[in-house]
Amino acid sequence: MQDNKKFMLEAIKLAGENVEHNHGGPFGAVIVKEGKIIGKGGNKVTVTNDPTAHAEIVAIREASKNLGTFDLSGCEIYTSCEPCPMCLGAIYWARIGKLYYAATKEDAAKAEFDDSFIYAEFAKPKTERKLQSVQMLREEAVKVFEKWISKEDKIQY
């Protein structure tokens, strides 16, 4: 069997196990580096009471821990469904180079996981979003950035 088919079937298997064991939504993800799985996970939102514990985030956190770095350059992610905006953002921050996905956002929406609302919110100016946004104390926060900029021993990422 082709390797990438094998990895995707593993992600889908994790999604299925999640449904059986009631650990969270029907989603699974696997991170691969140089042909080896270095992190994987199912959605753990309900079992851990963590709204950020989507399968991709769980897998990224495990892969980073296993490799001892926040930089997953050279890795691929296999996810049983197209990533939501949170997970797509996480994939970029982790510098993962390639995304394989199986089901589409539309398939997920049929199962009542609809992130099109969030994607639509992103495209709006802040003032038109459902999430109210209020700016305050900007100058105080900018001082912290200035401290960061002038800090010589900072660890950049």
CB 108 within 8 A of CB 115: yes
Catalytic residue among 17, 20, 34, 56: 56
Minimal distance, residue 95 CB to a copy of itself, in Å: 8
Nearer to a copy of itself, 26 or 37 (CB): 26
Distance CA(78)–CA(54), nearest Å, equals 13
Minimal distance, residue 90 CB to a copy of itself, in Å: 5
Minimal distance, residue 41 CB to a copy of itself, in Å: 12
Per the annotation, the verdict on 56 as an active-site residue is yes
What amino acid is encoded at 108 in this protein?
A: A
Minimal distance, residue 118 CB to a copy of itself, in Å: 5
Nearer to a copy of itself, 35 or 68 (CB): 68
DSSP string covering 3-68: HHHHHHHHHHHHHHHHHHHTSSSS-EEEEEETTEEEEEEE--HHHHT-TT--HHHHHHHHHHHHHT
Distance CA(90)–CA(24), nearest Å, equals 19
Nearer to a copy of itself, 37 or 72 (CB): 72
What amino acid is encoded at 53 in this protein?
A: A
29 closest CA partner among 69, 66, 63? 63
Nearer to a copy of itself, 17 or 34 (CB): 17
Residues designated as active site = 56
